[in-house]
Structure formats: C-alpha cells, structure tokens
Chain A
Amino acid sequence: MELPASPKHPPQPYMNPYLAGIGIGVALLAAFVLVGRGLGASGAFNSTIAWLVSSVAPDYAHGNRFLAGYLDGDHPLKSWLVFEVAGVFAGALLSGLLAHRAALVVERGPRISVAGRLVLAFIGGVLMAFGAAFARGCTSGQALTGGSLLNLGSWVFMLSVFGGAYAVAWLVRRQWR
C-alpha cells in the first residue's frame, strides 16, 4: 500500500472479508425486507446523466428511449438508487476516516505513471458503463442483488465478469504489479 501513514495514525488493517461480506449481506437483506428491491450503483449514474442531459437538452433527453426511462415520474434524482449511492459515499467516507485510510492518492502499481493510471481509470470507467448498461446492472446490482435472489441472468453475468477480468488481467499487469 502506498498510503502515506502518519506515525500517530497508521492506516488500520482491513476487516475480515467474510465479516465485511456478512455486513453487506445484512444491508442487502434489509433492502429486500424494507423496500422489496436490492442494491445498485450503475442505475444512479443513469439517473444523474439523464437529469443532466434533460437540463441542457430536454427534447433530446425525452426522445432518447434509454434516458427517457429515467425521466418519468418526478425528479430523476429523487430515485432510490441515487439516495443509496449517496449513502455509499457517506458510509465509505466514515469508515475511511475512522480507519485513517482516507488520503488524496492515486492507486497504482510500481511500473506505471500517474498519468498512465488515470487514463486507464477513465477508459475502464467508459467500458464498464457500456458493460453495465447491457447487463442491466453492475456488481452491486446484478451480482450481489441478483445473485442472492438466484436470478439466472445475474449468475451468467457474474461468471462473465470474472471470466472477462481474468482473461485480460495478464495483458494489463504492468498497471498493477
């Protein structure tokens, strides 16, 4: 880890992954029991983009079937996922501060420059946006939510994600190792 650790407050070690997973599972279960739906993330991006586009080009936004789907009902930002993702931000911030892990850094391996890493981060984001749109969700929505509900498409998705990532990992190893 390249986190700058101050002598007084070194970053704490990570939590037992199984316990963290159980914590997330409980949050997911709460969502099922309270509101009858699961978690997600990419949908919040879709709502936000739909809102932004409709603010500058409302006719185009409403004419585009993909965007229009996020514009029916009241304000697009008044969406369950947008609020949930805002919570994710807050929760992660809280945990990071408590564990002294919050720091303004660029995560990267030893063999790549900051600029190179940032370019790849951007490209990765673009790719995943397309992937998530086709899959109707990302790892939070499809893998976690759909996986726990035994959704067929979600399991297909999950296996493909691992497959695609492992297939390409060796090619981009310079970024990380």
Chain B
Amino acid sequence: MSSWAANLTLNHKLGLVALALGGVAVLSRVAPERTLTLNAKELLTRIERQDDHVTPAELATWIIEGRTDYRLIDIRDAAAFAAYHIPTAEHVPLSEVADGGLARTDKLVLYGDGGIHAAQAQIVLGGMGYRRVYTLREGLDAWKDEVLYPSGPEHPDAEHAARFERAVRVARFFGGQPRAATPAGTSAPAAPVAAPEPVPPPPVSTPALPAGGVFGAPPAKKKEGC
C-alpha cells in the first residue's frame, strides 16, 4: 500500500486532491444568508433626523438637471409601474430589492405609492449594509400632489406667485398640469362638488424629455461581458 502511494506522480496527487475537494463540495451552500444587522439606536436616530428623504421637488430638479449619480427605484408591482412611473425610474419590486440587482455602492432613491413600503425597504437594505438609500418622501402620492398637479393659493403674493409659476413649468415638463387654486378661507367644500376635486389620471406614457436632453437611459453601466 505504501509503495502505491509512493509511486504517485504530481499529476496523480493533483487529481486526488481535486476529487477530495470536489467530494466535500457536495455539501456546499452558496446562497448568502439574507440576515440583517441593525443598530437600534443608530437607526432610530436616523429616522428621527429625517435626513434620508428626498422631496418630490428635489427629485424633479434632479431629473430635469439630468443627474446620473443615483438610481431611482420604483418598488411597486409591474402593473402599477406600467401604468405610470416617474421618468428615469427602474422597476425593482419590493420582494426583489434584496436580490442583488442593487449594488451597495449605488445611491438609491426608492418610492412606492405612499411612503411606507419604501421606508421599510430602506430599513432592510440598511441592515444589509447599504448606506446610501433614500426614499421619496410620501412617494407617488406626494409626487402627484406637489409636482404633477401643483396647486397654489388663490391670491398669491409676488414670492408665492413666482414659486407657483416655476412649479407649473415643472408640472408641464412631466406631463402634468396645475390644479385650480382653492379659494382661501373656505371651510366647506364649494357646492355642487361634495367630494374633493378628483385628481386627473396621470399620463400613461412617460413624457418626452427636452431636445437638449441632458441624459438618456439609466446611469451607464459598463458592459461586464467577455
């Protein structure tokens, strides 16, 4: 037996090592555990400081400026995304957010219909080591309310008028339109409308961007093929 072992060439030994390693590998598990590591105090402080939001107005500005240093992520389902999504948004449903399509080094802005799901996803990603995750404060509801269909006071002063003027331009850029101004001081809804004024359905197709188009598709990812 020992003479057999002594007669093994280098190649034979390499082959045996490979078979041994391969055999043990049968037991291997390679899917990473998706456990979260959270520091309670740190997390609660962050939530209280509220510095991990992006307001709809800020996001609108970023889009108009053509910034590509972040990724806008829509976490709703496919049907909702298809019906309308904020221009430049990528679709990553909530359940797939931890699957690996989002890099820990990316700056991410998440949004859902309201603010809750995005905030929950933000906590989960934070527990997985993501440090650059932001949410659109109050989500699409706020986007529609503040960007797409802005409303302003009925009798604005100069400053408010200028601001509203700008909001209207932004709204039109995204395919929306201003809402009629609510009469100041009215406590009861004006007759004959009993319910609040219905918000018109959002535009179905994402609006065309200006010809000077500062940016194109989602941030350019270098090809990783061979």
Contact = CB atoms under 8 A, between A and B. Distances in A.
**Touch A–B, Cβ below 8 Å:** yes
Contacts of B14: 18, 22
B27 interface: no
Given A16-B10, A18-B11, A72 B220 contact: yes
Interface string A35-58: 001111111000000000000000
A85 to B, nearest CB: 11
Interface string B10-51: 110010000000000000000000000000000000000000
B223 A43 contact: yes
Contact of A69 (B10, B11, B223, B226): B223
B159 interface: no
A37 B224 contact: yes
Taking each of A37, A70, A72, which has the highest tally of chain B beta carbons within 10 Å of its own beta carbon?
A: A72
B101 interface: no
Given A72-B220, A73-B220, A136 B226 contact: yes
A78 to B, nearest CB: 9
B226 A142 contact: yes
B11 A70 contact: no
Contacts of A38: 226
Interface of B is mostly: loop
A79 B222 contact: yes
Interface residues of B, number: 10
B226 A42 contact: yes
A137 B226 CA distance: 5
B10 A81 contact: no
A34 to B, nearest CB: 14
Contacts of A145: 226
A68 to B, nearest CB: 11
B40 to A, nearest CB: 32
Contacts of B224: 37, 80
Interface string B196-226: 0000000000000000000000001111111
Contacts, number: 38
A175 interface: no
Contacts of B220: 72-73
Contacts of A136: 225-226
B10 to A, nearest CB: 7
A169 B225 CA distance: 29
Contacts of A70: 223
Contacts of A37: 224
A140 B11 contact: no
A80 B222 contact: yes
A146 B225 CA distance: 10
A73 B216 CA distance: 11
Interface string A136-162: 111011100110000000000000000
B222 A41 contact: no
Contacts of A16: 10-11
A22 B225 CA distance: 23
A40 B223 contact: no
Given A16-B10, A18-B11, A18-B14, A137 B222 contact: no
B14, B222, B223, B226: which has the most chain A beta carbons within 10 Å? B226
Contacts of B11: 16, 18
Given A38-B226, A142-B226, 20 more contacts: A16-B10, A18-B10, A40-B225, A40-B226, A42-B226, A43-B223, A43-B225, A43-B226, A70-B223, A72-B220, A73-B220, A79-B222, A80-B224, A81-B226, A136-B226, A137-B225, A141-B225, A141-B226, A145-B226, A146-B226
Nearest 6 pairs of A and B residues by beta carbon? A141-B226, A40-B226, A137-B226, A72-B220, A73-B220, A43-B226
